[in-house]
């Protein structure tokens, strides 16, 4: 591509991309997202966190029970221990995805949900992705968080991919959401003052391989993510969606606790 062609492409992108974001429902990607409307009405799903409590045998049990699951980022590090694979994969963390895009491209999964902005603005391309428009937001009150009832035009961003998954799950018609592996407690985290908090009694993730490049990754802020979970609870209750925490331990107490094993009695 010569200089004139590059300049033309740059000008085209400058005008076309904003139009696509404002009219995302009309794009091919938006129409693919719209096809998920109410396909699981009245059913339950599981959101799989990557905390140290995550157990391969629990994932195998979900697999054997035929449960619908959402999982995130580098969950593939547990694949060799279980036949389970997520029904829906989500990653919206550009730093994390930039370090493992080749691996994610090679994953044979039914659907991978990725923000279109990671492709356009960070050059991260995921083969076969279900690209969605991610809408940034800043809120200090859970009631002020946006929550999309139509994922085709856009999905509201937050400090955790769980919030994105909750919006997708609500759009798909799920009426019960269960968390596992959401420990909400990290070896290294930060608070709203920007202070680094270290707890040597815990690990960050289920595998030490998960964040071997941790020097390049974001440090989680559990104060912000707690606010996000409170917003999720508020919005799901309004929509008659029940959310439960079936994590084995951890420190997330926003949602009603249930025993994971009891869900299969």
Identify the bridge partners of residue 243 per DSSP, sorted by sequence position: 177
CA nearest to 208, candidates 77, 92, 104, 81:
77
Task: Say yes or no to pLDDT of 227 above 70.
Answer: yes
| Residue-level pLDDT at 9 | 41
Task: Say yes or no to pLDDT of 5 above 50.
Answer: no
CA nearest to 189, candidates 171, 208, 203:
203
DSSP state of 221: B
Q: What are phi and psi of 68, to 5 degrees?
A: -85, 130
Across the range 237-261, mean pLDDT stands at 97
| Residue-level pLDDT at 14 | 56
CA nearest to 117, candidates 101, 105, 135:
135
pTM of the model as a whole: 0.90
CA atoms within 13 A on the CB side of 237: 12
| Residue-level pLDDT at 154 | 97
pLDDT in tens, 116-128: 999 999 999 999 9
Cα separation, 208 vs 180, in Å, equals 19
Task: Say yes or no to pLDDT of 140 above 80.
Answer: no
Cα separation, 59 vs 57, in Å, equals 5
CA nearest to 70, candidates 150, 171, 146:
171
Burial of 43 (0-12, 13-18, 19+ CB in 10 A): middle
Cα separation, 184 vs 162, in Å, equals 12
pLDDT in tens, 7-36: 444 444 555 788 889 999 999 999 999 999
């Amino acid at each position: 591509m010569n200089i004139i062609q590059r300049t033309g492409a740059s000008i085209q992108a400058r005008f076309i991309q904003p139009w696509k974001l404002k009219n995302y429902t009309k794009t091919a990607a938006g129409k693919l997202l719209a096809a998920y409307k109410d396909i699981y009405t009245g059913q339950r799903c599981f959101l799989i966190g990557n905390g140290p409590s995550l157990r391969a045998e629990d994932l195998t049990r979900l697999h054997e029970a035929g449960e619908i699951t959402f999982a995130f980022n580098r969950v593939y590090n547990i694949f060799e221990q279980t036949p389970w694979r997520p029904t829906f994969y989500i990653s919206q963390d550009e730093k994390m995805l930039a370090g493992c895009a080749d691996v994610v491209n090679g994953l044979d999964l039914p659907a991978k949900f990725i923000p279109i902005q990671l492709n356009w603005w960070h050059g991260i391309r995921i083969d076969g992705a279900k690209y969605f428009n991610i809408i940034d937001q800043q809120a200090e009150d859970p009631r002020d968080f946006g929550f999309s009832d139509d994922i085709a035009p856009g999905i509201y961003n937050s400090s955790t991919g769980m919030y994105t998954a909750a919006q997708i799950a609500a759009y798909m018609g799920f009426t019960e959401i269960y968390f596992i592996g959401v420990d909400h407690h990290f070896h290294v985290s930060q608070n709203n003052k920007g202070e680094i908090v270290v707890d040597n009694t815990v690990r960050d993730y289920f595998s030490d391989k998960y964040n071997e490049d941790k020097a390049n990754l974001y440090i989680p802020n559990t104060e912000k993510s707690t606010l996000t979970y409170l917003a999720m609870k508020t919005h799901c209750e309004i929509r008659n969606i029940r959310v439960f925490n079936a994590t084995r331990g951890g420190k997330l107490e926003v949602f009603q606790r249930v025993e994971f094993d009891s869900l299969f009695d």
